[in-house]
Every structure is written in structure tokens, then in C-alpha cells.
């Protein structure tokens, strides 16, 4: 290289160093220049306070659709990009490994790719072990770790990866969820002892029993935490704030945030006092637990749980049949508590629907096929019974009628309530593994509400009301419930006594095993 080339390289390195120094105190400029991301006012305030404020701990309770995880990923990349190698390290944690992998690290990778397209090659690579690593003078260097320690090992794990230079950044994504135990917060404190170390925790305030509630309500922590509430009404979709000069980028940003129409709908349907409105729209902890039927903590745990696939387990299929034009017929598979979507399709004739069910049952080797026989479901069940092509079934077909009465009307208003309670009991017991990516099922579970009948029995909110609240039929939920509900008390004997190919209808008045159920107070958010 000639002298001009050497001088040019030296000048470039000097300019880069000056730029790096500038970016160390200006996250917003770095995010704009390197990632091409502009930040709306309230989120800019939060990021600047969290990264540069005098208080090193920041807690943000947030409404839905505020780009919170997206922004967390930007901050993590900034930490690793603008500091000298080995100077800092970020610890990323969440209620589950799935959350870290499929949300936080997903954004980390996409942001890093954006930077590369804009001519900024950020250091290192994202490994399959939820690590951001690079190669330095001492060999492998770590910029960030994604960790969800087992209960009781939180402090041990966090201290094992703290920065030797004292600058440790801890990021908690979905900090208000059930999996963020007291031990996680203790572990964070154990690594915040070094200079310029920081804790940034953000999440939805869905769970009034969450550990971090005290950081917002206890006066002892008033001077220890920067506290923020990020409401839907703080978003540009409501304030009218212009963020991007480019109309295309502006429209893309606005489309990703919570919409005015969605909030207006929830206000009409839920009401402003509803726990869901307070949490998902206002970003506030609910004043009470609401009337959600499935405990939030139990639902969250089920979506984080992993039950290994075991071919020895009996397979049970739950089927919900489409009733209206926009509804779907849905099949869920239950194998030893591992619940997975098998298939869904639009409304078809009863014979075609019966064939689909039959084919899936044979392909999977299902032992039971549970079908909702109300409405069109009854006609589909009839086809499985009467048509010759289905006579050699290798499974037991079971018809369930949610409107049927139980023999305990003071406990359950009908079989539908009984079946919902059956799933609730299994969720609380930690017996179900729900697919982390099945967000539709999760939303439908969270949206189930209940009331009490005149006799005091649990009555699940009627389906037509739920369809209005959810913006569609809870068809996935119904199919999943059918796959897990208790059918061992059939009037013809236990399921094991039924010969292959049997078709039976459940009569809940004949026998109900009340000892099976969790008798804790319904509606308490666990």
C-alpha cells in the first residue's frame, strides 16, 4: 500500500473512532444512521433515560403494539457495537427460551442485517446457542447472551457471564410475565455492581401477581428505578407525531403500531374498567384479576413447556366444525399433553369434512376423535357413523354436545363449562405443552371470560359474544379443548372398554369425577 493509501486508511480509522465516540452518547443517532430506524417521542425518551439516565435501573410497563421488543433489540445491538470489544456484555432474559429465541434474537438478527445493507458491518454473528459472538485478540469474544436460568440457579448463571470490566447490561423482555421470578431480579442485582452497569426491563402488565409490580408501587423503589408507562395513547397512531420523512417508511411504522380502530373496538366491547383494557391499551396493572377464565400464569407456562414427542402415547383428536362463512374447521392433536394444530380449512360439505377427519385420524394413528356435534358438527358425526367408507375405523368417534347439562349444575352450567374447566385444571397442573408459535390459540385462551348461572354454576361467555370480542370464532380453542377434555366417564364404560370403531355420545349426567378438578377460585390470576 502506498503512502496515500496508508494515510487514507488512517484517516478512515480516525473518523470511525470519532463516530464511535459520538454514538456512545447518542443512541438515537446511531439507530438512525446504522439501522435506518427512527423512534417516536415517548420511546426515544425511554431509551435515552434507560441508557444514559442517572438511575441505572429502568422498568417500563407497556401496552400492546408499542414496538417494545423491537426497541430492546436495537439497544442491545447498540451496546455491542459502540463499545470496545470486551468492554461490555449484555445478558438477555425473558420468561422462556422461546421468547428469547423467537422474538428478541429474531429482531437482533434482522436489525444486524439492516445495518449490513446500509454499509455498517456490525461485529460478529448470532449463534444457535443464543449468543452474539465475535473473534478478538484473545479468541472468541462474547457480546451478548440469551439466558433463562432454571429456578434457583439465576444468580449463579448471571454472575458467570458478567463483564470483567464492570459494564454489564441486563435486558428483561416481557418482564411482567409469570416466568420472571424473584430469583431473576436478584440475579440482575448481583451483576449490577460494576460502573455503568444497567438493568432495562419492559413488558405488558398483564399479571397483577408479577414480581416487578412492587417496583412500580412500592415507595422504597421510587428513587431506585426509572419508571415508565407506555400507553397506546402515547403512540404516533394517536398523537399524530410524524416520525419518518419518507412516506413509505412512515406508513410501515404506523401500520406496525396499535391502531385507533382496535382501541375503539376494545373500548366498546370490554369497557374502560376491564382488566384487559387497562393492561393492553393503557399499559396499567389491572385493578383486579378480571373475569378471565384461564389463569394467565398457567397459560404462559403451557406455551413455554416442552413435552417430548413420544410415539407410545395415545393420540386424541379434537375437532371443531365450521358453522359460518368465515369460520374454519379445525383439528388439534393431543399426544400425552403435547397439543398441536393438525389442520384447518374453510367451510365444506359434511362428507368432505368427514373424509378429512377420517384421513387425518388414520394417518396419525389416533385412538379417539372428539367432535362437537352441535349444529353442522352433528351432521359430520353422522356421516362418520352411517357412510360405508368409514365403517372400518381404527379409532373411537365421540360426539360432544356443549349445551348438555351436567349432574352438578351448581358447579357447571353445561358440558361446555365442564370441558373448559377440564382444560383449566390441566393447565394449572402443568400437564399441557402448547405450541409457542400458535399465537391464535393463545389469544383465544386469554380472551375467554365467564359468569355464573342462576344456580351458581360456571357459565362460559356465549360463543356469539366471544366472537364479537375476539373478532372471530374461537375455533382453535374449541378444538384444543375437545382434544384434552375428560371423556373417561362415558355411559358405555371407560374409553378403554370401547371396541375400536365405536361411535358414542357423551352424557355428562351419567357420571362426573369432581375430584379430577382443581377447586381453586375461578378467575384468580395465577
Residue pair 310/94 in contact by the 8 Å Cβ criterion: no
Q: Is the pLDDT of residue 62 over 90?
A: yes
CATH code where residue 369 lies: 3.30.420.240
- Domain boundary (200, 227, 255) is at 255
> Residue 450 falls within a domain, yes or no?
yes
* pLDDT tier at 495, thresholds 50, 70, 90: very low
Residues 245 and 303 in one domain: no
Phi and psi torsions of 227, nearest 5°: -110, 130
396 lies in the same domain as 251: no
Task: Give residue 4's pLDDT.
Answer: 34
Same-domain status, 245 and 308 = no
Domain-located, residue 267: no
**110 and 245 together in one domain:** yes
Residues 137, 233 share a domain: yes
For residue 398, is it within any domain? yes
- Asked whether residue 300 falls in the same domain as residue 249, the answer is no
**In angstroms, what CA-CA distances link 333 with 327, 336, 488, 490?**
19, 10, 17, 21
Query: Both 244 and 369 in a single domain?
Result: no
Give the CA radius of gyration of the chain: 27
Residue 524 domain-assigned (yes or no): no
Q: Could you read off the pLDDT of 435-461 as tens digits, one per residue? A: 999 988 988 888 788 877 767 678 888
- Say if residue 26 is in the same domain as residue 119: yes
Range of the domain at 309: 296-516
pLDDT in tens, 47-57: 999 999 999 99
96 and 205 co-located in one domain? yes
DSSP string, 48-97: HHHHHSSSSEEEEEE-SSS-HHHHHHHHHHHHHHHSPTTTEEEEEE-SSH
Residues 218, 313, single domain; the answer is: no
pLDDT at 517: 39
Q: What are 415's three cell numbers?
A: 358440558
Whether 515 has a pLDDT exceeding 50, the answer reads no
Query: CATH number, domain at 68?
Result: 3.40.50.300
Does the pLDDT value for residue 466 go beyond 60?
A: yes
| Listed residues 204, 235, 255: the one ending a domain | 255
307/274: higher pLDDT: 307
3-state SS, 259-302, equals CHHHHHHHHHHCCCCCHHHHHHCCCCCCCCCCCECCCHHHHHHH
The whole-angstrom separation of Cα 176 and Cα 61 is 8
Number of compact structural domains in the chain: 2
Look at residue 201 and tell me if it is in a domain: yes
Q: Are residues 173 and 313 in the same domain?
A: no
Amino acid at each position: 500500500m502506498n503512502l496515500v493509501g496508508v494515510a487514507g486508511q488512517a484517516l478512515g480509522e480516525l473518523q470511525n473512532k470519532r463516530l464511535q465516540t459520538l454514538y456512545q452518547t447518542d443512541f438515537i443517532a446511531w439507530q438512525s444512521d446504522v439501522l435506518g430506524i427512527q423512534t417516536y417521542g415517548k420511546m426515544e425518551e425511554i431509551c435515552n433515560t434507560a441508557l444514559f439516565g442517572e438511575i441505572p435501573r429502568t422498568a417500563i410497563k407497556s401496552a400492546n403494539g408499542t414496538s417494545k421488543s423491537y426497541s430492546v433489540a436495537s439497544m442491545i445491538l447498540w451496546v455491542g457495537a459502540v463499545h470496545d470489544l470486551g468492554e461490555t456484555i449484555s445478558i438477555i432474559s425473558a420468561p422462556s427460551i422461546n421468547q428469547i429465541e423467537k422474538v428478541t434474537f429474531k429482531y437482533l438478527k434482522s436489525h444486524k442485517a439492516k445495518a449490513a445493507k446500509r454499509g455498517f458491518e456490525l461485529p460478529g454473528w448470532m449463534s444457535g446457542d443464543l449468543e452474539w459472538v465475535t473473534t478478538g485478540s484473545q479468541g472468541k469474544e462474547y457480546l451478548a447472551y440469551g439466558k433463562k436460568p432454571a429456578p434457583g440457579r439465576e444468580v449463579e448463571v448471571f454472575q458467570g457471564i458478567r463483564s470483567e470490566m464492570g459494564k454489564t447490561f441486563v435486558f428483561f423482555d416481557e418482564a411482567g410475565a409469570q416466568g420472571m421470578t424473584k430469583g431473576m431480579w436478584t440475579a440482575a442485582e448481583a451483576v449490577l455492581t460494576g460502573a455503568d452497569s444497567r438493568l432495562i426491563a419492559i413488558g405488558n402488565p398483564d399479571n397483577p401477581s408479577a414480581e416487578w409490580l412492587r417496583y412500580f408501587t412500592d415507595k422504597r423503589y421510587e428513587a431506585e428505578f426509572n419508571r415508565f408507562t407506555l400507553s397506546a395513547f402515547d403512540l404516533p397512531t394517536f398523537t399524530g407525531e410524524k416520525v419518518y420523512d419518507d412516506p413509505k417508511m412512515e406508513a410501515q411504522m404506523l401500520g406496525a403500531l396499535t391502531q385507533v380502530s382496535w382501541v375503539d373496538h376494545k373500548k366498546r366491547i370490554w369497557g374502560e374498567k376491564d382488566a384487559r383494557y387497562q393492561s393492553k391499551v393503557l399499559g396499567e396493572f389491572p385493578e383486579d384479576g378480571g373475569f378471565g377464565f384461564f389463569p394467565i400464569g398457567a397459560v404462559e407456562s403451557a406455551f413455554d413447556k416442552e413435552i417430548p414427542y413420544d410415539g407410545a402415547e395415545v393420540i386424541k383428536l379434537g375437532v371443531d366444525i365450521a358453522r359460518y362463512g368465515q369460520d374454519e374447521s379445525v383439528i388439534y392433536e393431543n399426544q400425552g399433553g403435547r397439543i398441536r394444530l393438525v389442520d384447518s380449512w374453510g367451510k365444506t360439505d359434511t362428507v368432505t369434512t368427514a373424509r378429512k377427519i377420517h384421513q387425518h385420524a388414520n394417518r396419525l394413528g389416533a385412538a379417539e376423535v372428539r367432535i362437537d356435534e352441535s349444529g353442522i358438527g352433528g351432521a359430520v358425526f353422522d356421516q362418520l357413523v352411517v357412510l360405508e367408507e368409514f365403517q372400518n375405523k381404527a379409532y373411537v368417534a365421540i360426539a360432544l354436545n356443549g349445551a348438555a347439562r351436567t349432574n352438578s349444575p351448581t358447579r357447571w352450567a353445561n358440558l361446555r363449562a365442564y370441558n373448559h374447566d377440564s382444560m383449566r385444571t390441566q393447565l394449572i397442573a402443568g400437564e399441557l405443552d402448547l405450541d409457542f408459535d400458535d399465537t391464535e390459540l393463545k389469544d383465544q385462551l386469554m380472551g375467554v371470560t365467564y359468569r355464573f348461572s342462576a344456580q351458581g354454576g360456571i357459565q362460559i361467555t356465549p360463543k356469539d359474544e366471544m366472537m364479537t370480542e375476539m373478532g372471530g370464532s374461537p375455533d382453535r380453542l374449541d378444538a384444543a379443548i375437545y382434544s384434552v377434555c375428560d371423556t373417561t366417564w362415558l355411559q358405555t364404560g371407560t374409553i378403554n372398554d370401547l371396541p375400536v370403531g365405536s361411535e358414542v355420545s357423551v352424557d355428562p349426567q351419567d357420571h362426573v369425577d369432581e375430584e379430577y378438578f382443581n377447586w381453586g377460585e375461578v378467575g384468580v390470576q395465577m
